[in-house]
Structure 1
Amino acid sequence: MSLLFKELDYRPTPMGVLSLRRRRELSLDIDVYEIKLNEEYLMSSLFTDAEIALADLGLAELDRDNLDVVVGGLGLGYTAKAALDNPKTGKLTVLDTLPEVIEWHQQGLLPLGEQLSNDPRCALVHGDFFGASLSNTPGMNPDAPEKRHDAILLDVDHSPGNVLHEDHKCLYTKDGLAKLAAHLVPGGIFALWSTEMPEPWFEENLKSAFETIRADVIKFKHPLIDREDINTVYVARTKA
């Protein structure tokens, strides 16, 4: 049995103090992994339904093989793992602005780290997803900057209206989304995870940059209390 609580790593970063913790949830008889930034919880392995749904719903829209997929935000790796589990995925680039999170996976401190690091289709890249999204370079993968992508999946901010850094706000504007859409092939997919219910202002911004959009509400049970929680996955498609 694991120790009831252990801080696996603790690092100062430009965004604040980042920590990785593992604790034993006795009521469920499982280890829970949590990432915190300062005093704010970024993610927990207790809640992974929506992160997995982000990849499942986004890639389900594409009916071709050997997909080139980009994930913005590595975190605990559940979106990336779901993308790799899809047989249509041929190449996956995961961009994360925090090299510490990439190191945790490469060092095997997280349960999915070995699977992601050792999969030849997957590249864990230290990079600024938001800067790359707003750039004029066609592709977002530094190793293939001229190649556009079939799908871009984003799981970084809490929601378009509740961002981790002020610089991220530019992406959720009409202009920012138009620049992101330019990194996709015709008929490509942009999917975004949010902790909030669908936000009409953001749906309008998506409609300005994509041919079709929808917002799927993901419902899941809180594992510790008798309560249903919700997240949203936005799925937007460029013109074919």
Structure 2
Amino acid sequence: MSTDNIADWLPQEPRPRVVAREEARAGGELALRRDGGDYEVISNGVFLMDTRGGASERELVRAPLSALSGRDEVRVLVGGLGVGFSAREALDDPRVVRVRVVELEPAVLRWHHGPLADVAGNLPHEPRCELVCADVMEHLTAAAGAGETFDAVCMDVDNGPDWTVTEGNDRLYQPRGLELVRRVLAPDGVASWWCAAPAPGFAASLRSRFGEVAAVEVPVARGEPDVIYTART
């Protein structure tokens, strides 16, 4: 047998297939892709997240909740729903009485009623979980104006301060965004931010506005580790 076409005889890995494609509220296109047993979220052709692992998304919530040891009836605000790992981590803590998740894209919320329903334990039917379709910055502004506070505020919007895919998301990492997070934190509350790589400039901004700032690196399969920054009022 000729070896020229031997690859044609070998078992082929199934290619990822698009199971949903919708116009994004922020502009462009959002796609949900199935790759074997996992899902991937793609924005304008750029990979955003998938359902493999999710260690850093869980650490985004685990870190501030660990820092709130001894506190009961914890209220959590999560900026960005994604595949739901952060929201599920909050709900799995028995001290948490309320989780509000703010997500810009209606498509992502719809996917959690469909293909992503089982990924994070059917979040739309969790009695302690409130899913809100809104711009995170606008929601923070409204919450601060209404005097709402949360014990933990966990931001997972885009890829962090140094590489944003969606126009306008950089506002969350600038002085106005950080001030809004500080205003909606309860006394001695803890905020956290997910970043795709170390962001020393952002860390310096946090230190200029919060009392205690820390960073946790979460190893990934390839490239630089994800980083979770935490800050306390």
- C-alpha distance in structure 2 between counterparts of 1:107 and 1:136, whole Å: 30
Deviation at 1:52, TM superposition (A): 0.9
**Aligned: 1:12 with 2:19:** no
**Aligned: 1:209 with 2:209:** yes
- C-alpha distance in structure 2 between counterparts of 1:137 and 1:45, whole Å: 30
Aligned counterpart, 1:73: 80
Alpha carbons 2:51, 2:119 under 8 Å: kept = no
**Which ranges of structure 1 fall in alignment gaps of 5 or more residues?**
25-30, 140-144
- C-alpha distance in structure 2 between counterparts of 1:150 and 1:80, whole Å: 15
From the superposition, tell whether residues 10 and 136 of structure 1 become closer, same or farther in structure 2 (CA, over 3 Å): closer
**Which ranges of structure 2 fall in alignment gaps of 5 or more residues?**
1-13
Aligned residues: CA RMSD: 1.9
**Aligned: 1:129 with 2:136:** yes
Query: Aligned to 2:193, what secondary structure does the other structure show?
Result: strand
Query: Aligned to 1:106, what secondary structure does the other structure show?
Result: coil
Aligned counterpart, 1:187: 188
Alpha carbons 1:218, 1:230 under 8 Å: kept = yes
- AA of the residue aligned to 1:13: A
**Aligned: 1:161 with 2:157:** no
Correspondent of 1:52 among 55, 58, 69 = 58
- C-alpha distance in structure 1 between counterparts of 2:143 and 2:223, whole Å: 42
**Aligned: 1:171 with 2:172:** yes
Alpha carbons 2:150, 2:184 under 8 Å: kept = yes
- C-alpha distance in structure 1 between counterparts of 2:116 and 2:187, whole Å: 38
Q: Give the aligned length.
A: 218
- AA of the residue aligned to 1:7: V
Name the % identity. 31
Query: Aligned to 2:148, what secondary structure does the other structure show?
Result: coil
Deviates more, 1:87-96 or 1:145-154: 145-154
Deviation at 1:76, TM superposition (A): 0.5
What TM-score comes out, normalization by structure 1 length?
A: 0.84
- Looking at secondary structure, tell me which structure has more strand per residue: 1
- AA of the residue aligned to 1:16: G
